[in-house]
C-alpha cells in the first residue's frame, strides 16, 4: 500500500506552552478509511491539523506525498493533497454563492478558468450538490447541504486525502447516514483516503476500516477497528466505550467461548441493543 502521509516523532506545543502531541508516529496509506477517536483534549483535532499543514510541528516531521509540512510557502501544494472539512461548515464557507464557494480553491491556486469550471461541475456532481443551487447563498441551505458544499469545495482541489471533523454532529440519524454513506462512496468509488474525527462509536464501528485512539497527546492504539474495540481496558483510559452491540457480542463470546453460532434469543438481544 502506498504511503500518503508519514508522521515521524511529531511533537506539537501551543503558543501558550500547552503540549498537545508527544512522539506521534503514524503512516496513512492510499485509500484507507480511518477514525481518530479519544476524549476531548486527547489530540485528535490537533493531529489532523498537523496532517494538512494548518499547524507546523514543534518537533519531528510530517511528510505529505513527499512534501515536508514545516517548509514555508507550500500551503498551495498541501491543499491539493489533504483537504480538511471543519466540524461546522460555516467556518469555511464565506463566498456569496454555492458556485463561487466551490470555485474558490481552484481559482486560488491559479488554475485556468475553463479548468475551474470543469472542476466545479465535477465536484458538485460527486458531492450531490445540484447545479440549481449554484446561485444560492450557502447560508440559506440546511446544514447537511452546507456540509456537502464544503466537501465539494475540497473535492474541487482533487486531494487524495480528506479529513472530516465530526461529520455527524448536529444532524439527525437520517442526515448522519447520508453523510457517512457519501464519505464511504468517496472512499470506495472515488479512491480517496478518508479520515474522520468523531465521538460516535457506532459510526466508527460501521464505517471505519482502521481506528487510531489518542489519549493525552499520544497514540494509545492503532489497528483494525474490530481489534481496537476488543480492548476495552485500554479504551477506558481515554473514556471511550465500544458500541453497545460490540460490547454485547464480546460478553456473549466470553460467556460461551466455544459457541460459534448465536441463539435466536441472543440475536434478538443484539438487534434490540443495536437499534436503541
What's the CATH code of the domain at 149?
Answer: 3.40.50.300
150 HSE (CA, 13 A, CB side): 27
Whole-number Cα distances in Å, 117 to 98, 122, 133, 147, 211: 13, 9, 15, 21, 37
Residue 234 belongs to some domain of the structure: no
pLDDT of residue 104: 95
Residue 244 belongs to some domain of the structure: no
pLDDT of residue 76: 87
pLDDT of residue 264: 53
pLDDT of residue 61: 97
Q: Which domain holds residue 70?
A: 3-196
pLDDT of residue 100: 96
Q: How far is CA 206 from the centre of its chain?
A: 14
pTM across the whole model: 0.84
Residue 217 belongs to some domain of the structure: no
pLDDT of residue 35: 97
Give the residues of the chain that fall short of pLDDT 50. Answer: 245-262
Residue 271 belongs to some domain of the structure: no
Residue 273 belongs to some domain of the structure: no
The total domain count for the chain is 1
Residue 93 belongs to some domain of the structure: yes
Amino acid at each position: 500500500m502506498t504511503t500518503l502521509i508519514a508522521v515521524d516523532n511529531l511533537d506539537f506545543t501551543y503558543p501558550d506552552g500547552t503540549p498537545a502531541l508527544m512522539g506521534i508516529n503514524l503512516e496513512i496509506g492510499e485509500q484507507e478509511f480511518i477514525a481518530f477517536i479519544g476524549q476531548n483534549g486527547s489530540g485528535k483535532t490537533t493531529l489532523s491539523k498537523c496532517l494538512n499543514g494548518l499547524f507546523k510541528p514543534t518537533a519531528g516531521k510530517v511528510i505529505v506525498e513527499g512534501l515536508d509540512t514545516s517548509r514555508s510557502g507550500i500551503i498551495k501544494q498541501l491543499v491539493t493533497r489533504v483537504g480538511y472539512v471543519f466540524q461546522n461548515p460555516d467556518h469555511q464557507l464565506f463566498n456569496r454563492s454555492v458556485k463561487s464557494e466551490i470555485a474558490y480553491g481552484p481559482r486560488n491556486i491559479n488554475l485556468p478558468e475553463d479548468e475551474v469550471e470543469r472542476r466545479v461541475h465535477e465536484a458538485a456532481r460527486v458531492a450531490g450538490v445540484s447545479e440549481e443551487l449554484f446561485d444560492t447563498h450557502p447560508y440559506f441551505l440546511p446544514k447537511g447541504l452546507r456540509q456537502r458544499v464544503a466537501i465539494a469545495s475540497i473535492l474541487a482541489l482533487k486531494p487524495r486525502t480528506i479529513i472530516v471533523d465530526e461529520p455527524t454532529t448536529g444532524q439527525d440519524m437520517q442526515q448522519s447516514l447520508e453523510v457517512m454513506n457519501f464519505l464511504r462512496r468517496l472512499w470506495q468509488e472515488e479512491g480517496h483516503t478518508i479520515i474522520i474525527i468523531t465521538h460516535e462509536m457506532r459510526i466508527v464501528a460501521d464505517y471505519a476500516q482502521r481506528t487510531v485512539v489518542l489519549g493525552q497527546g499520544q497514540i494509545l492504539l492503532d489497528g483494525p477497528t474490530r481489534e481496537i474495540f476488543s480492548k476495552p481496558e485500554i479504551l477506558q483510559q481515554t473514556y471511550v466505550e465500544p458500541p453497545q452491540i460490540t460490547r454485547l457480542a464480546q460478553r456473549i463470546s466470553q460467556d460461551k467461548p466455544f459457541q460459534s453460532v448465536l441463539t435466536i434469543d441472543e440475536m434478538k438481544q443484539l438487534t434490540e441493543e443495536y437499534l436503541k
